[in-house]
Chain A
Amino acid sequence: MIQIQGIGNQTGPKFWRSLNELANTPKFQQWVAREFPEGATDIINSNSRRNFLQLMAASMGLAGLTSCRRPVEKILPHAKSFEGIVHGNSLHFATAMPLAGSAMGLLVESFEGRPVKIEGNPGHPASRGAANMLAQASVLNLYDPDRAKDVVEGGKKGAWDEVAKAMTQAGSLEGVRVLSGYVNSPTLAGLRAQLLAKAPTAKWVEYEPVSDETILDGSMIAFNDSLRPHYDFKKANVVLALDSDFLQLDNRSLGWIKDFSARRSPAHHEAAPAATPAAGEHGANGHAAGDHAPAAGMNRLYAVESNYSLTGATADHRLRVKPSDVANFVFDLARELGAITGLKVLGQQDKFIKALAKDLSANKGKAIVLAGPRQPAAVHAVVALINQTLGNAGETVTYTKEDRRSMASLVELVKDLNSGAAKSVLILGGNPVYDAPADLAFGDALKKVANSVYLGAESNETAAACKCSLPESHFLEAWGDATHLDGSASIVQPLIEPLFGTKSAIEVVGLLVNGKWQSGHDLVKGQWKLADAAWKKALHDGLIAGNAAAAAKATGDKTRVEAAVNAHPKAKGGMEVSFFPSANLFDGRFANNAWLQETPEPMTKIVWDNVALMSPKTAKEMGVAEVVDNVGMYGKKVAIEIDGRKVEAPVLVMPGHADGAVSLTLGYGRTAIGRVGKGIGYNAYAVRGLGSMGFASGATVKKLDGTQYLVTTQEHHNQEGRPIVKENTEAGYAKNQHFATHDEEHVELFSLFDGFDYSKGSQWGMAVDLNACIGCNACMVACQSENNVPVVGKEQVAKGRDMHWIRLDRYFTGAEEDPQVVYQPMACQQCENAPCESVCPVAATIHSPEGLNDMAYNRCVGTRYCANNCPYKVRRFNYLNFHKDLEEITKMVHNPDVSVRMRGVMEKCTYCVQRIQEAKIKAKAEGRAKGEAGPYKVGEILTACQQTCPADAITFGDINDPNSKVAKLKKDHRNYTLLHELNVKPRTTYLAKLRNPNPELA
Chain B
Amino acid sequence: MAQLFPKKIDLMIRGVGLAVAIGAGVTAGGMLLLHHPKKIEPGYQPTQPIAYSHKLHAGNLGMDCMYCHNTVDKSSYAAIPSSQTCMNCHSKVKAQSVVLEPLRKSYEANEPVPWVKIHRLPDYAFFNHSAHVNSGVSCVTCHGRVDQMIEVKQVQPLTMAWCLECHRNPAAHIRPAEFVTKLDWKPERDPAEIGREIIVKKKINPPVNCSGCHR
A-side residues, CB < 8 A to B, are: 67, 70, 72-81, 86-89, 846-849, 852, 854-859, 897-900, 910, 913-914, 917, 921, 924-925, 927
Contact = CB atoms under 8 A, between A and B. Distances in A.
Given A75-B116, A76-B115, A78-B84, 4 more contacts: A67-B31, A89-B74, A910-B215, A913-B211
Contacts of B210: 846, 848, 854-856, 859
A72 B130 CA distance: 26
Nearest to B209: A848
B120 to A, nearest CB: 6
A88 B131 contact: no
B200 interface: no
Contacts of B46: 72
Given A87-B75, A848-B209, A924-B135, A77 B82 contact: yes
Nearest to B128: A921
Given A72-B116, A75-B80, A76-B112, A927 B214 contact: no
Contacts of A913: 211, 215
A81 B82 contact: yes
B124 interface: yes
A79 B109 contact: yes
A577 to B, nearest CB: 49
A848 B205 CA distance: 13
A78 B70 CA distance: 14
Given A87-B71, A88-B71, A858-B122, A78 B214 contact: no
A79 B111 contact: yes
A921 B131 contact: yes
B202 interface: yes
A925 B73 CA distance: 8
The B interface is mostly helix, strand or loop, or mixed, namely loop
Contacts of B111: 79
Given A79-B110, A917-B211, A86 B134 contact: no
Interface-central residue, A70, A86, A857, A910, by most chain B CB under 10 Å: A86
Contact of B81 (A77, A86, A856, A899): A77
Q: Which 5 A-B pairs have the closest CB atoms?
A: A88-B75, A88-B77, A76-B112, A854-B210, A848-B209
A649 B192 CA distance: 74
Contacts of B107: 79-80
Nearest to A80: B84
A684 B110 CA distance: 52
Contact of A79 (B75, B106, B126, B130): B106
B202 A927 contact: yes
B212 to A, nearest CB: 7
Interface in B89-127: 106-107, 109-117, 120, 122-124, 126
A78 B131 contact: no
Nearest to B109: A79
Contacts of A70: 40, 44
Contacts of B124: 857-858, 899
A899 B31 CA distance: 28
Contacts of A917: 126, 128, 211-212, 215
A847 B74 CA distance: 29
Contacts of A88: 71, 75-77
B128 A75 contact: no
B56 interface: no
The A interface is mostly helix, strand or loop, or mixed, namely loop
B79 interface: yes
B85 interface: yes
Contact of A77 (B73, B113, B116, B120): B113
Contacts of A898: 215
A762 to B, nearest CB: 11
A855 B214 CA distance: 8
Contacts of A924: 131, 134-135, 202
B138 interface: no
A858 B121 CA distance: 13
Contacts of A73: 116-117, 120
A72 B79 CA distance: 19
Contacts of B202: 924, 927
A921 to B, nearest CB: 4
A76 B131 contact: no
B168 to A, nearest CB: 14
B35 interface: yes
Contacts of B81: 77
A925 to B, nearest CB: 4
Nearest to B202: A927
A78 B77 CA distance: 14
Contacts of A859: 210
A79 B84 contact: yes
22 contacts: A70-B40, A70-B44, A72-B116, A73-B117, A74-B114, A75-B80, A79-B109, A86-B75, A87-B77, A88-B71, A88-B76, A846-B209, A848-B207, A848-B209, A849-B207, A854-B209, A854-B211, A857-B124, A900-B123, A917-B126, A924-B135, A925-B134
Nearest to A922: B130
A917 B209 CA distance: 12
Nearest to B40: A70
Nearest to B135: A924
Nearest to A857: B124
A925 B131 contact: yes
A913 B126 CA distance: 12
B131 A77 contact: no
A858 B214 contact: yes
A74 B120 CA distance: 11
A917 B76 CA distance: 11
Contacts of A72: 46, 116-117
Given A77-B81, A899-B215, A67 B35 contact: yes
A70 B122 CA distance: 12
Contacts of A856: 210, 214
A855 B79 CA distance: 30
B115 to A, nearest CB: 5
Interface string B55-91: 0000000000000000101111101111111000000
A927 B210 CA distance: 24
B121 to A, nearest CB: 11
Contacts of B207: 848-849
B83 A79 contact: yes
Contacts of B44: 70
A910 B211 contact: yes
Nearest to A74: B114
Contacts of B73: 925
A895 to B, nearest CB: 10
A927 B177 CA distance: 12
Contacts of A852: 209, 211
Contacts of A921: 128, 130-131
Given A70-B40, A72-B116, A89 B75 contact: yes
B196 to A, nearest CB: 18
Contacts of A86: 71, 74-75, 79
Nearest to A843: B210
A80 B83 contact: yes
A921 B76 CA distance: 10
Nearest to B49: A74
Nearest to A844: B210
A921 B117 CA distance: 25
A78 B130 contact: no
B80 A77 contact: yes
A898 B109 CA distance: 34
B149 to A, nearest CB: 17
B83 to A, nearest CB: 4
A74 B76 CA distance: 18
Given A73-B120, A77-B83, A849 B115 contact: no
B163 to A, nearest CB: 13
Nearest to A899: B124
A790 to B, nearest CB: 16
B54 to A, nearest CB: 15
Contacts of B35: 67
A131 to B, nearest CB: 23
A759 to B, nearest CB: 15
Interface-central residue, A67, A88, A857, A898, by most chain B CB under 10 Å: A88
